[in-house]
Amino acid sequence: MPNNLFDEFFQAEARMFLLATIRIALAEDGSDLTSQGLFTDSDMAQAMIVAKQRTVVAGLPIIPLVLEFGGQECQVHLNVDDGETVSEGTMVAAIQGPASQLLKAERVMLNFLCHLSGIANLTAQYVQALKGTKTTLLDTRKTLPGLRFPEKYAVLAGGGKNHRLTLSDMLMLKDNHIDRAGSITEAVRQLQTVHSPCPPIEVECRTLEEVEEACKCDIKRIMLDNMDAETAKTALSMVPDTIETEISGNVSLETIRDIAGIGPDFISVGKLTHSAPSSDFSMQFVPLR
């Protein structure tokens, strides 16, 4: 997957949020008094970033963005593209610049790379589990505050799809909306009255009665929330072809293929972002050439 996916994704507000997060991450570390005490600005160094395990890679283009905040120009060569699977020991990037700048940026660069690669790696496993089915894997909004866009980008790098980036991408009626509005029908009516044109609407259904009611409304998608397999299978048979279907809740690598077997268009998995183990990378100094 070429790194132009990164440039396509991180535009406008997505890029603004990413740069703000990088700035905050560097600020959290404060001044690197250790490196400042050991090296001058003219002490140049060369480093390589190496994968310490087999993993899908995501977040490599963030490395030069982090280094740009250091004030002096660094040379960065990315040896692989985001979305590629690398083996243990692969040098994924080479960097040259002031030693103090590389050391100041080291942990921030690795934190992004390890976290996002972990998400991409787990996503790729779920995508593989769905191979050959008609079901598309989606992420959720269960992301770390401030990292919504990088984490959802990592899902794309792993082969998954984004559910929605912001609350305005799709209007989603969840249990609290429906309970407060009084019914699914009334909630949909209010949304379509207030918003003109009205964005697509998705309705989260907890029971077969709610599915029956939602099917009578002008909506784009029905989500079956935390239903057992038999109930979900019955619910899917009730939904007309004009309405998309999504299953969410209690999905794991062990169960996702069986869930896909009952025929939903989408399965959304919160674990992709909130529970993905970080991949392991390290930065190592090497002699200057």
Annotated active-site residue in 32, 106, 204, 246: 204
Question: DSSP letters along 42-85, please?
Answer: T-EEEEEEEESS-EE---TTHHHHHHHTTSS--EEEE-S-TT-E
- What is the number of residues in the chain? 289
Residue found by looking up tokens 């692969």 in the block = 90
Q: Is 104 a catalytic residue?
A: no
Q: Is 174 a catalytic residue?
A: yes
Annotated active-site residue in 142, 161, 189, 271: 142
Q: Is 142 a catalytic residue?
A: yes
Q: Is 32 a catalytic residue?
A: no
Contacts of 32 (CB under 8 A, 6+ apart): 100, 103, 104
Q: Check: CB of residue 184 under 8 Å from CB of residue 210.
A: yes
In degrees, rounded to 5, the angle at the alpha carbon of residue 142 between the alpha carbons of residues 18 and 65 is: 15
78 token code pair: 């990315």
Annotated active-site residue in 141, 148, 161, 174: 174
Annotated active-site residue in 15, 68, 107, 233: 107
- For the annotated catalytic residues, the residue numbers are 107, 142, 174, 204, 225
